[in-house]
Amino acid sequence: MITDVEPIITARFDQPDAHTIDGYERTGGYQALRQVLASWSPARVAEEIKDASLLGRGGAGFPAGVKWGFCPPGVWPRYLVVNGDESEPGTYKDRLLLERDPHQLIEGVLIASYAVGAAQAFIYIRGEMALAQERMAQALNDAYARGYIGKNILGSAFSIDVVMAWGAGAYIVGEETALIESLEGNRGMPRLKPPFFPAAKGLYMQPTIVNNVETLSNVPWIVRHGAAKFTALGAEASKGTRVFAVSGHVNKPGVYEVEFGVTTFRDIIMDPAYAGGIRDGNQLKCFIPGGASAPWFFEEHLDLPLEKGTVDRAGSMLGSGAIVVMDHTTDAVKACMAVVRFFAHESCGKCTPCREGTTWLERILRRILDGYGRPSDLDLLMDVADNISPGIAWPPKQTTICPLGPSAVSPLSSALGRFRGEFEAYIARAEAARAEQPVVLAGAHAHAHDHGHDHDHDHDHGGHH
């Protein structure tokens, strides 16, 4: 169902000066902070956000207000960390929020820090996002100058420093414990949970709240309008609005803020108000509903609402709000490779099943695509996948510290489960070619190719493995 709701967090996207402090103040900016500091206790802020059922917008979808409550009482200092390391393939919303409305995020950070009692807050922005960093640095400088950040903010007892940190190219740092490692100046490798749940033992082993950019960008609106108005939007567990990026083979790829929980995949992919249908009048083949880590959906899933619980039960996830659409001309094996290769490339190397497993998945897929596939390869792929994510089920089990490895299994099981014939066709062609060639030559070719030019290995794997 398409509903005509006012945008919450993209409301200023059409305002050219929304990224400036004047543009932000002119449109109600920092009013929520004033309201909180004038009359709300920290506990009341936390209660309001909990009542709003604001689900985390980073991928896991955990309620932010509940997360804030996980800090052990009486343990100080606490830290607040904003996860702006957006890198999940297909995901494209936090960057826009950082570039176009940085003060909205800063205001959310300040209110959240007030609520949890943070000693300091960090906004960690992905390294590759130069403009977002530039806009945020300027916004922070301006907010300090006007007394919104720093000592005794707006004359209150609330004091905090907000510091911009930025990464240097590593998808894994989007995982919250890896982000904390990175913020401590280390290699961005995830920590084992338990015991290192950030709310209990995070940055510098202190209680730390890690929230996504989009999540915190909702906070000023919720404070100003009240949790009840927020929960009036959406359905079931999914309240408010959500920003989805729809990309791939659609007529109008774009970033759309829609009512959460009620808008369907068909609405957002097909409706002229949104992505406007499949390009060139083509047929839909499949789509990724929530970022590269999500199992793929097909025609029969189009009428599902964009609602967390519903999508979870249907065997995938809304994840980071990234919908990637593929039409019938798409080569499923190549598409699968593009996603599996990503996880192989981004594996941090800490856990053997992920480091070795994703690498082998990529190599086996590579030889299938290059015409050297073997009939046993499809079982081998699933066997390797099973070692990373036992049972290849949803939600995934994992033999690894973080979910990166199992994420590589999602596209594989989706593609192989639905389009096995395409994989078999590649292998059949390889078999036919082998039948025409002396075995020795074929082996020599395969060997030569393993060490030959390969675009997918342009990066220094040594740095990651």
Partner 1 sequence: MARLTPENEILAREIIGRYPRPKSALIPLLHLAQEQDGYVTDDAMAHIAELVGVTSAEVLGTCSFYEMFKLHPCGRYVINVCTNIACMLCGGDELLHHAEETLGITAGATTPDGLFTIEAVECIAACTEAPALQVNYRYRYKVDNDAFDSLVDDLRAGRLNDEIPPHGTLARVRQHIPDDKRAFIVSPEEAAAAGEPAWMHAHETPSVEGGA
Contact window for partner 1 (CB under 8 A) among 160-168, 212-220, 228-236, 372-380? 160-168
List 1, 163, 425, 441, residue binding partner 1 (CB under 8 A): 163
For the CB of residue 155, give the shortest distance to partner 1 in the complex, in Å: 5
Which residues between 328 and 357 bind partner 1 (CB under 8 A)?
330, 334-335, 338-339, 342, 345-346, 348
Q: Rule CB under 8 A: is residue 281 a binding residue for partner 1?
A: no
For the CB of residue 407, give the shortest distance to partner 1 in the complex, in Å: 13
Amino acid at 344: A
Q: Which run of H or of E encompasses 386?
A: helix 377-388
Which residues between 222 and 251 bind partner 1 (CB under 8 A)?
245-249
Q: Rule CB under 8 A: is residue 273 a binding residue for partner 1?
A: no
For residues 96, 345, 352, 316, the Cα torsion angle rounded to the nearest 10 degrees is 50
Q: Rule CB under 8 A: is residue 439 a binding residue for partner 1?
A: no
List 164, 199, 278, 318, residue binding partner 1 (CB under 8 A): 164
Q: Which whole-number Å values give the CA distances from 449 to 38, 223, 443, 444, 452, in the listed order?
A: 68, 59, 10, 9, 5
For the CB of residue 253, give the shortest distance to partner 1 in the complex, in Å: 4
Tally of residues, the chain: 465
Q: Rule CB under 8 A: is residue 459 a binding residue for partner 1?
A: yes
List 14, 16, 39, 280, residue binding partner 1 (CB under 8 A): 39
List 76, 232, 417, 432, residue binding partner 1 (CB under 8 A): 76
List 86, 175, 214, 377, residue binding partner 1 (CB under 8 A): 86
Q: Rule CB under 8 A: is residue 141 a binding residue for partner 1?
A: yes
For the CB of residue 325, give the shortest distance to partner 1 in the complex, in Å: 8
| Residue nearer to partner 1 on the CB measure, 104 or 247 | 247
Q: In whole angstroms, what is the distance from residue 142 CA to residue 401 CA?
A: 40
| Residue nearer to partner 1 on the CB measure, 113 or 218 | 113
Q: In whole angstroms, what is the distance from residue 258 CA to residue 267 CA?
A: 10
Q: Rule CB under 8 A: is residue 43 a binding residue for partner 1?
A: yes
Q: Rule CB under 8 A: is residue 23 a binding residue for partner 1?
A: no
Instruction: Please tell me whether residue 288 adopts helix, strand or coil conformation.
Output: strand
List 2, 66, 119, 302, residue binding partner 1 (CB under 8 A): 119
Sign of CA dihedral 178, 179, 184, 186: positive
For the CB of residue 167, give the shortest distance to partner 1 in the complex, in Å: 7
Contact window for partner 1 (CB under 8 A) among 46-54, 60-68, 186-194, 233-241? 186-194
Contact window for partner 1 (CB under 8 A) among 214-222, 262-270, 309-317, 456-464? 456-464
List 31, 120, 282, 399, residue binding partner 1 (CB under 8 A): 120
| Residue nearer to partner 1 on the CB measure, 439 or 455 | 455
In the 8-state DSSP scheme, what is residue 397?
Answer: P
- Residues 6 or more apart whose Cβ sits within 8 Å of residue 343: 292, 354, 358, 404, 405, 407, 408
List 131, 228, 380, 425, residue binding partner 1 (CB under 8 A): 131
- Other CB atoms within 10 Å distance of the CB of residue 227: 20
The footprint of partner 1 on this chain (CB under 8 A) covers a number of residues equal to 101
Q: Rule CB under 8 A: is residue 183 a binding residue for partner 1?
A: yes
Residues 20-59, buried b or exposed e (16+ Cβ, 10 A)?
bbebbeebebbebbeebbeebebeebbbbbbbbbbbbbbb
List 10, 177, 182, 211, residue binding partner 1 (CB under 8 A): 182
Q: Rule CB under 8 A: is residue 19 a binding residue for partner 1?
A: no
Q: Please answer whether residues 269 and 279 qualify as being in contact, where contact means their C-beta atoms are separated by less than 8 angstroms.
A: no
> Alpha helices, DSSP H only, in 52-175?
64-68, 94-100, 102-116, 130-145
Q: In whole angstroms, what is the distance from residue 313 CA to residue 236 CA?
A: 13
Q: Which whole-number Å values give the CA distances from 429 to 154, 360, 446, in the listed order?
A: 71, 22, 15
Q: In whole angstroms, what is the distance from residue 362 CA to residue 388 CA?
A: 14
| Residue nearer to partner 1 on the CB measure, 348 or 381 | 348
Contact window for partner 1 (CB under 8 A) among 4-12, 217-225, 326-334, 356-364? 326-334
Q: In whole angstroms, what is the distance from residue 95 CA to residue 170 CA?
A: 16
